[in-house]
Amino acid sequence: MQWLKAFKVDPIPSLLAVDDPALTYHVYADLLDETADGVETLWKLSTPRQILEKQRGDGGWDYPSRNAHPFENYRLLQTYRMLGILIEQYGFHRQHPSISAAAGYLFAHQTDEGDIRGIFGAQYMPHYCAGLFELLIKAGFAEDPHVARGFDWFDSMRQVDGGWAWPLRTTAIRYEEAREREAPIQPDRARPFAHALTGFVLRMYAAHPTRRASVVAHHAGALMTSRFFQKDAYPDRREAECWLKFQFPFWWSNLLTTLDSLGAMGFSPDDENMARGLRWFLNNQESDGLWPTGYDKGEKAKKAKPWVALAVCRMIKQFF
């Protein structure tokens, strides 16, 4: 366990002290390389069973609120949220019929262009689209033709600088107007990339066993390291402090999600920007061995903290 020596405090005791069988499973399997039972044992726990009970017959999940605009399909958003929990925390994969059904629901919303669309009506939703493909890849759909078409779409949608930006943000068109349109707004490719979005897309590439080595992915990864601790070029998650707001399952781009992706892609910890990002985690470990999440109030933040620490450990293990 050479990688544990990078830390000031061993985080393993605090992680194992948490009364969460799913977390405990991942500590042993992912950090200590000890696994007695298959991940399928987690599928019987109460949380995933409650989630599966609410799955619709078409494979998706209903959004809790009914206030969405008629053109907005928020079932896709809720499906993203539920799949994140099932796949990232409870190890669900395509062999479970519910995951196959969910994949069918998502693929039914893939356009001829190759992206998954609908949350914002006819407008592109590249961040959620990339997040959905990331989860599908992790669940075992890496070689599915639908996923290949998704990568082709993202390859074609890059800005001139090689990153990605929300098309609407690169124009002066308001969302309320665009939502009513029947065709998606095209981006101004000359505008700079958005690191808040590019981090989402990078996770999709990093999750794939071959696409993570692509020139497209590595160029985008280098762009991300150049923006560490800086403000974004666009209003969404713009403030520099957003780099240090961590969630699990991963959602918004931040320092942890980006380093996790770059580690999977083989980026060197000796690079100056990479080293600066890694030092933040090594220097900001708390006395119990865990890390501040940037969301320190509320029960949800409390439950997420050990899972964030697990993700930090997995990320550090890739580098050391």
Distance CA(113)–CA(197), nearest Å, equals 19
pLDDT of 194 above 70:
yes
The pair of structure tokens assigned to 87 is: 């796949």
Question: Per the domain annotation, does 5 fall within a domain?
Answer: no
CATH number at residue 86: 1.50.10
How far is the C-alpha of 8 from the C-alpha of 173, rounded, in Å?
Answer: 50
Q: Is residue 78 part of a domain?
A: yes
Q: Which has more confidence, 180 or 41?
A: 41
* Cβ-defined contacts of 273-276 (< 8 Å, 24+): 273/225, 273/226, 273/228, 274/225, 276/228, 276/229
Q: Which residues pair with 116 in a beta bridge?
A: 110
Cα gap 149→112, rounded to integer Å = 9
- pLDDT tens-digit profile of 144-159? 999 999 999 999 999 9
Contact status, residue 123 vs residue 167, Cβ threshold 8 Å: yes
Is 80 exceeded by the pLDDT of residue 24? yes
Q: For residue 169, what pLDDT is reported?
A: 95
Q: Is the residue at 315 inside a domain? A: no
Q: pLDDT at position 300, please?
A: 82
Residue 175, domain member (yes or no): yes
Average model confidence (pLDDT) across the chain: 96
Q: Is residue 7 part of a domain?
A: no
Q: Is residue 4 part of a domain?
A: no
Mean pLDDT of the 175-204 span: 95
The backbone torsions φ and ψ at residue 116, rounded to the nearest 5 degrees and listed phi first, read -90, 130
Which amino acid, residue 211?
R
pLDDT band of 207, cuts 50, 70, 90: very high
Contact 106, 130 (CB under 8 A): no
Q: Is residue 274 part of a domain?
A: yes
CB atoms within 10 A of CB 117: 21
User: What pLDDT, on a 0 to 100 scale, did the predictor assign at position 67?
Assistant: 67
Q: pLDDT at position 299, please? A: 83
pLDDT score recorded for residue 149 = 98
Q: Which of 109-113, 181-185, 196-200, 210-214 has the weakest average pLDDT?
A: 181-185
Residue the block writes with tokens 């390859």: 155
**Mean pLDDT across the stretch 100-111?**
98
Given this model, what pLDDT does residue 68 score? 64
Q: Is residue 21 part of a domain?
A: no
As a whole number, mean pLDDT of residues 186-193 equals 97
CA distance 257 to 288: 22
pLDDT, mean of residues 197-214: 98
Q: Is the dihedral of CA 86, 88, 94, 99 positive or negative?
A: positive
Q: Please state the domain count of the chain.
A: 1
Domain containing 193 equals: 38-283
Length of the chain: 320
Mean pLDDT of 86-109: 98
What pLDDT shows up at residue 179? 85
pLDDT at position 28 is 96
The backbone torsions φ and ψ at residue 147, rounded to the nearest 5 degrees and listed phi first, read -70, -40
C-alpha closest to that of 89 among 56, 129, 58, 135 = 135
pTM of the entire structure?
A: 0.96
**In the predicted structure, residue 301 carries a pLDDT above the cut 90:** no
The first and second tokens of residue 1, run together, are 């366990």
Scored b (16 or more CB within 10 A) or e, 199-213 reads bbbbbbbbbbeebbe
* Confidence at 124, pLDDT banded by 50, 70, 90: very high
